[in-house]
Amino acid sequence: MSSWDQTKFSLTSRSRGSYLITNEVLSKVPQIKEYEIGQLHLFLQHSSAGITLNENCDPDVREDMTSSLNRIVPEGDFYIHADEGPDDMPGHVKSTLVGTSLTIPITNGHLALGTWQGIWLCEFRDYMHTRKIVATINGLKRK
């Protein structure tokens, strides 16, 4: 029989950058260990940050990603929406490009990530924000 679990949690506050958060997610969603097979769906409840899977080993990749996204979506006075400063609208554009949700398979109580894959938070605002995630698991629990 299929089972469901859902939890909402906050991530550590961070300013602009790309951050490996796999261990933080695992600590906040220990129910993963209870599932033989299933899916973990992570939904970031924000419109100026993103969540993605990428390189989990070399921190240079995270720096390069941040600088690449800053070049792709520059700040400037050409945006109409700037209610919260010059990084506001670029943050919304980057959020759309990167996305705000992930679905990761669960196999034998573990996330079925590739060898070099990790869960990243991409924070697009300079000011430190506390971001919230809704984690939903669906699958077959271990016997």
What is the CATH number assigned to the segment(s) 2-141? 2.60.120.460
Position 143 confidence tier, pLDDT thresholds 50, 70, 90: confident
- Tell which residue, 36, 24, 12, has the closest CA to residue 105: 36
- pLDDT value, residue 109: 98
For residue 98, pLDDT over 90 is answered with: yes
Mean pLDDT of the chain: 97
What's the residue count for the chain? 143
Whether the Cβ atoms of residue 123 and residue 51 lie closer than 8 Å to each other:
no
31-88 residue pLDDT tens = 999 999 999 999 999 999 999 999 999 999 999 999 999 999 999 999 999 889 999 9
Whether the Cβ atoms of residue 62 and residue 20 lie closer than 8 Å to each other:
yes
25-36 residue pLDDT tens = 999 999 999 999
Q: Where are the domains of the chain?
A: 2-141
Share of the chain above pLDDT 70, in %: 100
Reported pTM: 0.96
For residue 1, pLDDT over 90 is answered with: no
